[in-house]
A and B are shown apart, each in its own frame.
Chain A
Amino acid sequence: MKTAFKIKDVNGYYGESHALKDVNFEIGAKTVTAIIGPSGCGKSTFIRCLNRMNDLVPSFRLTGEMLHNGTDIYQKGRDIIEIRRKIGMVFQKPNPFPKSIYENVAYGLRIHGIKNKSTLDDVVEKSLKKAALWKDVKDRLKESALMLSGGQQQRLCIARAIATEPEVILFDEPCSALDPISTSKIEDLFSELKNEYTVIIVTHSMQQAARVSDFTGFFMMGELIEFDETKKIFTTPSNKLTEDYITGRFG
C-alpha cells in the first residue's frame, strides 16, 4: 500500500494551549481513514492541518513534519493554493456558495483559469455523478444551490471538492448536520470515492467509523492513542482507553 501522508512528531498549539501532542502515524493512499475521539480531542485540528486550513487561525502554530507524497506540507515557501487543490475538504455544515448548482461545482475550475464551456460542462456532470447527485439536479443546474436539501447540499459540496481533481478529500464531520437517510447516502459514497481518492473522515459517530473506514485513529486530549485497522480497533483494541471509548464508557 502506498503512503499518502506521513505524520512525524507533530505538535499543534492555539496560543498557549497544546492541541496536538507528538502525533506520529501514516495514512495509506486510496483508503478510508476515520479519526474518532471525544469532543475537543484535537481530531478537527488534526484534519484541518492536512490542507493548512488552520493557517486561518492567527494563533495557531505547528511543529514537526506532515509529509504528503514525501514533501512537507508546512515546508517554507510551499504553495498553499497547490496544496489545497490537491487536498480537498468537505466541512461539517454544508456550505454551498449562494450561486447556481452549476457554478458551485465549476467554481474550483474557474478560479484556476479554466473557461472552456465544454470542459466545464463535462467536469460538472462527472463530479455530480461521482457525488451521486446528478440524477437529482440534472434538470435544474441553473437553480440556486441554496434551494437543495441539507443532504443534497452536502453532496454538492463533495462534488465541488471532486471537481478540482484532488488526490485527497478531507471530511470534517460531514454528516453531523444531516438526517439518517442523507447520512447513509453519503456513507455509501465513501467506498466508491476510495477507488480514486484518499479519504480521511473526522467523525463523532463510532458506528460510522466502523461502517465506512479501513483504518481508524483514536485521539484523546490531543494525543493519538491508537491507530490501526478499523476491524482491530473495534474488536480487539490494544489500548485500554480505546476500549473504554468504543464501548461507550466515556465520551
Chain B
Amino acid sequence: MANKTNINVLWDKIFKVSGLIVTLLGLVVLAVLLIDIFSEGFSRLSWDFITHYPSRHPERAGILSSLVGTIWVMAITAALAIPIGVMAAIYLEEYAKKSWLTNLIEINIANLAGVPSVIYGLLGLGVFVNFLALERSIIAGGATLALLALPIIIMSTREALRAVPPSIREASLALGASRWQTVSTMVLPAAIPGILTGVILSLSRAIGETAPLIVVGALTYIPFLPESPITGEFPFISLAGLKDPFSVLPIQIFNWVSRPQHGFIVNAAAAIIVLLTITFMMNAVAVWLRHKYQKKIRW
C-alpha cells in the first residue's frame, strides 16, 4: 500500500517536471525566433520602410503596397466572414432542430477547420477568380480568406452561445418573448466576449496566410495602391479598389526571403516584425474586449 503511494508520488513528480520542460521548450523556440528576427530586422524599421513601394534595391524597398493590401484583404475577410459565420452559428445553435442533417453539417464544419489552407486557395481560384470572374483581385483574395476563417468563427460562436445558461432562454421565452427577441436581447449580448475572441483569433490566423493567396494570384511585386475607398465626390466612398490586384505582407516576406541578397533578408525580418505587431495588436484587442464585456456579466 505504502509502496503504491510512493509510486504515485513519483509519477506525479515525473509528469510535473516533464510538463515544465515541454512548456519551456515551446517558449524557448519562440524566444529564439523573436530574438533572431528582431536583431536582424529592427534596424531596418523606419517610416520610409512603411511608406515605400517594393524595389529592386533592398535599401530602397518598402512594404507600402503589401501593407495596404493586407488591410484591404482583412477588411473584406472580416466583412464577409463575421456576419455569415455568426448568423450560421446562431441558426445552428438556437434555431435548427437536431437531426442527422445538422449533425452532418456540424461534423463537416469541424473538418473544414482542419483543411490545409492551400485547398481553400484552390477553391477560391476555381470559384471566385474563374467562375465568378473576379480575377486576381482584392475581393477574390478576401473572399478566399473569409472561407478559411468561417469554420473557426462558426465553431467559436457556437461554443460561446452554448455557454449561455439555458435558464436565461427559458426565462425569456416564458415571458412571451419570441426566439429572435430572446437571442438578440439576452443570448447574444451574453455571448459577445466569446464570439469576439473567436472572430479575432480566426482573423489573426487569416492575416498570416500565404499559400491560399498565392494560389488565388496575389502579386509578389506591385508598385501601386488599389483605388482609394474614400473619394472627393459624392458618395465619397468607392469600392472600385476591390477589383484591383494586390499583394499582402506574408507574400512580400516570402518573396524577399527567396532573394539571394542579404539586404532583402533584412527587409523580410523587418516586415515580419510589422506583421507580428499587427497580429499582436489584434490579440490585445481581443483580450481587452473580452475583459470589458465580461465585467458586465457575471452568472
State whether the Cβ of B104 lies closer than 8 Å to any Cβ in chain A: no
Residues 77 to 134 of chain A near chain B (Cβ within 8 Å): 81-82, 84-85, 88-89, 91, 93, 95-98, 107-108, 111-112
Which residue of chain B lies nearest to A93 when distances are taken between CB atoms in the complex?
A: B167
State whether the Cβ of A73 lies closer than 8 Å to any Cβ in chain B: no
Contact B176 A85 (CB under 8 A): yes
Which residue of chain B lies nearest to A85 when distances are taken between CB atoms in the complex?
A: B176
Counting chain A residues whose Cβ lies within 8 A of the other chain, the interface size class is: 20 to 34
State whether the Cβ of B22 lies closer than 8 Å to any Cβ in chain A: no
- Please report the number of residue pairs spanning A and B whose Cβ atoms sit closer than 8 angstroms: 68
Contact B176 A108 (CB under 8 A): yes
Q: How far is the CA of A210 from the CA of B165 in the complex (A)?
A: 33
State whether the Cβ of B33 lies closer than 8 Å to any Cβ in chain A: no
Counting chain B residues whose Cβ lies within 8 A of the other chain, the interface size class is: 20 to 34
Contact A89 B298 (CB under 8 A): no
Contact A98 B170 (CB under 8 A): no
**Would A91 and B175 be within 8 Å (CB), given that A58-B97, A98-B296, A98-B299 are in contact?**
no
- Of A16-24, A156-164, A224-232, the one contacting chain B is A156-164
Partner of A98 from the list B175, B177, B298 (CB cut-off 8 Å) is: B298
Contact B297 A95 (CB under 8 A): no
Chain A residues with CB below 8 A from B97, complex form: 58
Q: How far is the CA of A161 from the CA of B177 in the complex (A)?
A: 12
Q: How far is the CA of A82 from the CA of B299 in the complex (A)?
A: 29
Chain A residues with CB below 8 A from B297, complex form: 98
State whether the Cβ of A56 lies closer than 8 Å to any Cβ in chain B: yes
Q: How far is the CA of A84 from the CA of B178 in the complex (A)?
A: 10
**Would A97 and B298 be within 8 Å (CB), given that A58-B98, A111-B177 are in contact?**
no
Partner of B175 from the list A82, A84, A93, A144 (CB cut-off 8 Å) is: A84
Q: How far is the CA of A58 from the CA of B170 in the complex (A)?
A: 14
Partner of A111 from the list B98, B176, B296 (CB cut-off 8 Å) is: B176
State whether the Cβ of B174 lies closer than 8 Å to any Cβ in chain A: yes
**Majority SS at the chain B contact face:** helix
Residues 141 to 196 of chain A near chain B (Cβ within 8 Å): 144, 146, 157, 160-161, 164
Q: How far is the CA of A154 from the CA of B202 in the complex (A)?
A: 40
Chain B residues with CB below 8 A from A112, complex form: 176
State whether the Cβ of B173 lies closer than 8 Å to any Cβ in chain A: yes
State whether the Cβ of B185 lies closer than 8 Å to any Cβ in chain A: yes
State whether the Cβ of B110 lies closer than 8 Å to any Cβ in chain A: no
B193 vs chain A, min Cβ distance (A) = 12
Which residue of chain B lies nearest to A89 when distances are taken between CB atoms in the complex?
A: B174
B171 vs chain A, min Cβ distance (A) = 5
List, sorted by A's number, 27 A–B pairs whose CB atoms are closer than 8 Å.
Answer: A51-B174, A81-B177, A82-B176, A84-B173, A93-B167, A95-B168, A97-B168, A97-B171, A97-B172, A97-B186, A98-B168, A98-B296, A98-B297, A107-B185, A108-B175, A111-B172, A111-B176, A111-B177, A111-B178, A111-B185, A144-B298, A146-B299, A157-B171, A160-B175, A161-B174, A164-B175, A164-B176
- Give the interface of A toward B (CB within 8 A): 51, 53, 56, 58, 81-82, 84-85, 88-89, 91, 93, 95-98, 107-108, 111-112, 144, 146, 157, 160-161, 164
Can you add 15 more A-B contacts, CB < 8 Å, to A98-B168, A108-B177? A58-B98, A81-B177, A85-B175, A85-B176, A91-B170, A95-B168, A95-B170, A97-B172, A97-B186, A111-B172, A111-B176, A111-B178, A146-B299, A160-B171, A160-B175
